[in-house]
Structures are given as C-alpha cells and as structure tokens.
Amino acid sequence: MFHERPCQGLAFVDSLPRCLRPVCETKGLPSAPCSRPRPALLYPPCSREAWIPVAQRSDEHLKVLIRNGALQRRIREMARQVERDFKGERVHLIGVLKGACIFLSDLIRNFQSTDVSIDFMAVASYGKGKESSGQVRLYKDLDTSIEGLNVILVEDILDTGLTLNYLCRVLKQRRPRSLRIAALLDKPSRRIQEVKADYVGFKIPNEFVVGYGLDYAERYRNLKDVCILTLPPQ
C-alpha cells in the first residue's frame, strides 16, 4: 500500500491520485520544445514524497525522489541536446557499468538522427557500502578503439568525481576527437575532484540513492524510480 506525504518544495507534477492509491508515473508537466539546452532539474521534481512497497529489509526504508516518468522526459531532452550539439555526426557512448546500463539503454533509444555506437567500461570505487573507498580500479576496458571519435562518457551519478576524473584521464590518452560527460544525477555537494558534466539530468541533495540502475550492495537496481535509501544507524 502506498502512503503519501506532502512534499515541501517545488511541485513537478500538477496533481496525483489520492492517498493510498498507486503512484501515477505518466502524469507530469509536459516539456515544451526549446532551442536552448535545458538546465539540470533541481530536487525535488515530484509533488509527493511516497514510501514505496518493494522487497526490502525491515530496517531499510525507501522513499521516491524522482519518478520514472520524470526520468524518461528528462532523458528525451538530453538526447535532443546531444543531437543538436553534434548535428548528425557519429557519437560513441561509453557506459560505466553497472550503474549506467539502464540510463544508457533509455538514452540511446531516444536518438533519432545521430549515428550512435556504444561500448562499456567497468570500474569500482564503492565496494559493498555507501561510501566511496577513494580508490578507483578498472575491471573492464573498451572493446574497440576510440581514436578520432566523438565520445560521451555515460554515468549514472556524478558524486565525488573520483571515478569520472580517472576515466577521463584514461580516455584522453586514447586520442578521441572529443570527450564529454553525460550524468543522469549530480551531487555537487559531494565533489572532491573538480569534474563537470556536459549533460546533466537532475541535481540532487546529499542523499544516498538507489534504483534505475543504482544499487546498494548490488540490490535495488531494478526499481523504476530513483529512491532515497535510509539505513539504520551503524
């Protein structure tokens, strides 16, 4: 059963079903065509804070931060922005596993005219906990050369900047024609390394988030929404 509470802040959705009814993922403020890139949306994009019924441990709590409908609208806008920037040129997307896999899949399906190819890299800095270890290790490298290509590094979340700073240094050595970053989520307050994404979906507060590819100890990646995960005190 869904329990909704009033949200203090900006309302992204005009109205939602009454309390105790399922959350509507399709209602929202439609985006109007715009020739200028739209800035990253600020938290909170939803008009209710909803506790959601998923398989979770009794001492862990999930609260919706960004609904799937808002995610899909924003990803469509990001795809249009990339197409405007490259005007039909080939774009090579590199997804950072595992977190970016769902974001990359939805992003690439929204391209209409740009010639797109993909590859993947796998790195680790979190392990099984909530805090980054500060050390980035490369587990999977690219399958093909990126020399001379327009490369966009696709990441689920820009947090401390350690992972993206490391990957950018590695990729620049391989002489791409251009290198940009697309991050679905951005947590500016957590930054350690100075890294700026060229395409950002949402700027969010300093909360630990899961869902839509993001995990905690390899769980919760399957959630359709981005949710705040609250754990008991250690």
Collapsing DSSP states into helix, strand and coil, what is residue 184?
strand
Element housing 162 (H / E): helix 162-172
Q: What does the pLDDT read at residue 122?
A: 94
Biggest CA–CA distance in the chain, Å, is 55
Distance CA 83, CA 150 (A): 12
Q: Rounded mean pLDDT of 182-191?
A: 95
pLDDT in tens, 223-234: 999 999 998 876
pLDDT of 197 above 50 = yes
Strands (E), the chain: 3-6, 41-42, 48-51, 61-66, 91-97, 116-124, 137-140, 150-158, 178-186, 199-203, 209-210, 226-230
Q: Is 227 in contact with 60 (CB distance < 8 Å)?
A: no
How many H helices and E strands in the chain? 3, 12
Residue 159 a catalytic site member? yes
Domain boundaries, the chain: 40-230
Instruction: List the alpha helices (DSSP H) in 30-142.
Output: 68-86, 101-109
Q: Is 181 in contact with 198 (CB distance < 8 Å)?
A: yes
pLDDT in tens, 114-123: 799 999 999 9
pLDDT of 52 above 60 = no
pLDDT of 84 above 60 = yes
Cα atoms found within 13 Å of the Cα of residue 14, Cβ hemisphere only = 5
Collapsing DSSP states into helix, strand and coil, what is residue 191?
coil
Q: What does the pLDDT read at residue 129?
A: 53
C-alpha dihedral, 95 to 97 to 98 to 102, nearest 10° = 10
Q: Tokens 């988030």 sit at which residue?
A: 209
Q: Tokens 């190819």 sit at which residue?
A: 117
From 3.40.50.11030, 3.40.50.720, 1.10.10.410, 3.40.50.2020, which CATH number describes the 40-230 domain?
3.40.50.2020
pLDDT in tens, 135-161: 788 889 999 999 999 999 999 999 999
Burial class of 178 by CB neighbour count within 10 A (0 to 12, 13 to 18, 19+): middle
- Range name among 2-16, 193-207, 208-222 with the lowest pLDDT average: 2-16
Indicate the pTM of the whole model. 0.74
Q: Rounded mean pLDDT of 165-183?
A: 96
Distance CA 88, CA 49 (A): 40
Q: Which two tokens stand for residue 200?
A: 């950002």
**Of the listed 156, 159, 186, 215, which one is catalytic?**
159
